[in-house]
């Protein structure tokens, strides 16, 4: 369903994610903010909100209110959307975005656009995950300092091979859409959750690899000449980025270790 009306729940959608960092929760926040739809960011909004997150993913949990346990945050709780008006809990960033997309009018204008939007979102999230692996190439549970040697190698390949491959791809997507007369967004002529998702990944890359990105930016005229600022200035996104709801990048998926950047 591609709805024109923005659906709101009351009480609102509830994002369950770690507090204090943008992380993968940011992809969900940006969708809500771009749509102007209210949501509760439980762990950031209340002192003990984090316990809602930790209890949800507790290693002994078999699920709550008929929902299976989420593997990891982000998760989204939608009051009354489960069977018999129970809360529905879903997890996995792209699954949450594809659920919300039509409800927030961020999933294109027809079925083809909806599928392209999902495909591009998954690709942007692949890039997000590869950026994470530059500082954790061996073990998620170990500190960066324990895998620094491998990180240096991983980051070099990421900068030299993967960044240009992904950015070149998205530049071609924009070019293709521009040839249809609609070059501002990845798909069609209006903002989608693929745009906000890619934007957040680009923003993270600019933070984590400033020298590499500065050296490459001019190769991608549509991506950095039109798209990036277009999404940043979009209604709802602009106000959000200026608010204290937007947390700065720090020690999440995107981290700035100067030694992993271009030397
Ligand atoms: N593919 C999942 C990845 C979820 C994920 O890795 N979440 C992180 C926080 S951003 C986490 O807490 N992971 C714990 C773990 O993987 O053990 C998604 O996109 O939602």
Q: Which residues of 121-149 are buried (b: 16+ CB within 10 A; e: fewer)?
A: bebbbebbebbbbbbbbeeeeeeeeebee
pLDDT of 11: 72
| Torsion sign, CA atoms 19, 239, 128, 109 | positive
> Could you say which DSSP state residue 84 is in?
G
- Ligand 1 is surrounded, with C-beta below 6 A, by 23-24, 72-74, 92-93, 140
Ligand 1 atom at minimal distance to the Cα of residue 96: 20
- Digit-coded pLDDT (tens) for 63-105: 999 999 999 999 999 999 999 999 999 999 999 999 999 999 9
Task: Report how far ligand 1's centroid is from the alpha carbon of 241 (Å).
Answer: 23
Atom of ligand 1 nearest to the CA of 24: 10
Pocket mutation for ligand 1, best pick of 24, 76, 253 (most atoms within 8 Å of C-beta): 24
CA distance 20 to 205: 19
pLDDT in tens, 187-231: 999 999 999 999 999 999 999 999 999 999 999 999 999 999 999
Of 20, 53, 59, 73, the one to substitute when testing ligand 1's pocket (max ligand atoms within 8 A of C-beta) is 73
How far, rounded to the nearest angstrom, does the alpha carbon of residue 190 sit from its chain's CA centroid? 18
Distance 17 CA to ligand 1 centre (A): 10
Confidence of residue 8 (pLDDT cuts 50, 70, 90): low
* Centroid of ligand 1 to alpha carbon of 180 (angstroms): 36
Please tell me the distance from the alpha carbon of residue 220 to that of residue 32, in angstroms, as a whole number.
Answer: 28
Task: Please determine, for residue 40, whether its predicted confidence score (pLDDT) is greater than 60.
Answer: yes
Q: How far is the CA of 72 from the centre of ligand 1 (A)?
A: 5
């Amino acid at each position: 369903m591609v709805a024109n009306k923005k659906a709101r729940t009351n009480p609102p959608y509830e994002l369950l994610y770690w507090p204090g960092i943008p992380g993968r929760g940011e992809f969900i926040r940006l969708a809500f903010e771009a749509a102007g739809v209210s949501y509760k960011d439980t762990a950031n909004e209340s002192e003990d909100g984090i316990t809602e997150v930790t209890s949800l993913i507790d290693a002994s949990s078999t699920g709550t209110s008929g929902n299976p346990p989420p593997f990891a945050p982000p998760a989204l709780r939608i009051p009354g959307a489960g069977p018999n008006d129970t809360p529905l809990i879903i997890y996995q960033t792209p699954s949450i975005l594809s659920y919300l997309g039509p409800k927030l009018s961020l999933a294109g204008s027809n079925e083809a656009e909806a599928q392209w939007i999902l495909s591009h979102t998954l690709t942007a999230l692949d890039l997000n995950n590869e950026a994470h692996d530059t500082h954790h190439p061996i073990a998620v549970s170990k500190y960066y300092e324990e895998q620094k040697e491998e990180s240096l190698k991983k980051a070099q390949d990421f900068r030299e091979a993967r960044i240009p491959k992904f950015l070149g791809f998205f530049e071609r997507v924009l070019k293709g859409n521009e040839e249809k007369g609609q070059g501002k967004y990845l798909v069609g002529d209006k903002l989608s959750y693929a745009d906000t998702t890619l934007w957040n990944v680009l923003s993270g890359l600019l933070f984590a690899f400033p020298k590499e990105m500065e050296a490459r930016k001019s190769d991608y005229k549509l991506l950095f000449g039109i798209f990036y600022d277009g999404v940043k200035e979009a209604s709802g996104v602009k106000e959000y980025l200026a608010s204290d709801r937007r947390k700065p990048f720090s020690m999440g998926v995107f981290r700035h270790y100067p030694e992993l950047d271009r030397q």
